[in-house]
Amino acid sequence: MPAERAGTSTGDRRTARTRAALRHALLALMSERGWDAIGVQEICERANVGRSTFYTHFRNKDELLSGGFDDLRQALRGTPAGGAARSSATGGGVTDMPFVLGLIEHACENRKLFRTLIGRRSGYVVHQRFKQMLVALVEEELQAVPPDVPRAAAARWTAGALFELLSWWVESRSPATPKDLLEMARRLSTL
């Protein structure tokens, strides 16, 4: 293996570890005190990295948060459809989008994390970033919308409904399983 490739690989691993430590620190602090109450210095202290290291990777805590959502979005984009048809104007809507069950399952497996991300203490900025991620995922999956409805409006409507259902599920600590929640979303989309 050439020397520069070996160095790059080591650097890439170090970068990945640093970014992961910063994300874990951010999430832990958000869980303890909420988004608005934490600053970059506290994140650095919790992650055991210097401020200059933080700023080498991120401009601010918003960018750190967005990077985490970008990673989640990429992971959900690779979610297999599980036999579900792709969404269409006449199809089942959000419940037929391949990423939805994956998102619900991820939320179920990481309930405490999701309470941190979309619960009451997370704050406006975190809610907006999460909603932006959902809108982007929905827009990628929408196959057709009625001709008199703007595509962006349909994506925001659908993502908003999904966000609110997930928020209710996490905050209420409902015992519903991911498949129960998916079925609930399917039934609610027919109201």
Q: Tokens standing for 39?
A: 């600053």
Across 78-87, 133-142, 152-161, least confident range: 78-87
Q: Are 77 and 140 in contact (CB under 8 A)?
A: yes
Torsion angle in degrees (nearest 10) through CA of 109, 160, 60, 11: 50
Q: Which helix (H) or strand (E) holds 135?
A: helix 124-141
Q: Are 182 and 108 in contact (CB under 8 A)?
A: no
pTM above 0.85, yes or no: no
Question: Alpha-carbon distance 133 to 104, whole Å?
Answer: 14
Q: Please tell me the predicted confidence (pLDDT) of residue 94.
A: 75
Question: Alpha-carbon distance 86 to 123, whole Å?
Answer: 33
DSSP class of 190 = T
Q: Report pLDDT digits (tens) over 50-64.
A: 999 999 999 999 999
Q: Band of the pLDDT at 89, cuts 50, 70, 90?
A: very low
CATH architecture of 1-58: Orthogonal Bundle (1.10)
Q: What is the domain partition of the chain in residue ranges?
A: 1-58, 59-191
Fold of 59-191: Tetracycline Repressor; domain 2 (1.10.357)
Question: Alpha-carbon distance 160 to 142, whole Å?
Answer: 14
Q: Please tell me the predicted confidence (pLDDT) of residue 9.
A: 62
Residue 88 pLDDT exceeds 70: no
